[in-house]
Amino acid sequence: MNNKPENIDLLNPKNMILLYARGAFPMAEKSGKINWYMPEVRTIIPLDSYNIPRSLKRFMEKTHFTFTFDNETMEVVRNCAARDETWINEKLINAYKGIMDLGHLHSVEVYDKNNLVGGLYGVTFRGAFFGESMFSKKPQASKAALVKLLERLNKKGYKVLDVQYFTEHLAMFGAAEISFEDYLELLKKAYQWEISF
């Protein structure tokens, strides 16, 4: 983001939530510096018309995976960061802990025989869920986590699921790219609702 006041702590949890609410999200550079981004094109998964692939539906019917919400949120974040190349550094992990303490960081956990094998996390503000990252240690674990997230957001009445960038992985769920202007309009409507994850 350009033109930001230099004396404002952009990793202060309350400031971070305000930045998310404006449509920005953070990523750590290799140097360790954390920048905030507001791409001109954003990707959402429409909560009223998402898709679950047929093969994944069959998998969900038979799977022995078990699922929880907000059970090991910071462990999910750390697993998402545990890659050769990651945009989630220790400074950002600590910042997410601050957001969690304020009640705005949430997760889906996937277990196989009590072992954490997949999950995802994101930031919430009123009726919007800003998806951040997911991980998988077993086939289908991250996709299963996303299915559970979609079910949860609909059950709770969320209006927007932001997934930042378009990928083939997300395309199978009905992810769509929209202009930043349209994205802000969706957020404005979502903020009319006070929703608890």
Where residue 126 sits, what CATH number does that domain have? 3.40.630.70
* 1 lies in some domain: no
Could you give the count of Cα atoms lying within 13 Å of 177 in the half-sphere of its Cβ? 7
Contact 65, 145 (CB under 8 A): no
How many structural domains compose the chain?
Answer: 1
Q: Which residues pair with 22 in a beta bridge?
A: none
Q: Which residues contact 55 (CB under 8 A, 6 or more apart)?
A: none
Contact 20, 38 (CB under 8 A): no
Domain containing 39: what range?
13-190
Note whether residue 102 is domain-resident: yes
Instruction: Please give the pLDDT value at position 84.
Output: 85
Q: CA-CA distances (angstroms) from residue 3 to 6, 9, 36?
A: 9, 14, 12
Residue 52, domain member (yes or no) = yes
Q: What is the chain's percent helix, strand, coil content, to nearest 5?
A: 35, 25, 40
* d(C-alpha 92, C-alpha 26), whole Å: 8
SS3 123: strand
3-state DSSP assignment of residue 132: strand
* 196 located within any domain: no
pLDDT at 152: 98
Quote the pLDDT of residue 151. Answer: 98
In a domain, 94, yes or no: yes
Query: What is the reported pLDDT for 85?
Result: 86
Q: Report residue 62 as tokens.
A: 């038979």
Residue 116 belongs to some domain of the structure:
yes
193 token code pair: 């609702």
- Residue 48 CB contacts under 8 Å (≥ 6 apart), including other chains: none
Write phi, then psi, for 176 (nearest 5 degrees). Answer: -135, 140
The segments of the chain whose pLDDT lies below 50 read 2-5
Sorted by sequence, the CB contacts under 8 Å of residue 71 that are 6+ apart come out as 107, 109
Domain-located, residue 4: no
Q: Does residue 95 sit in helix, strand or coil? A: helix
d(CA 35, CA 40): 16
3 occurs within a structural domain: no
pTM over the 0.85 mark? yes
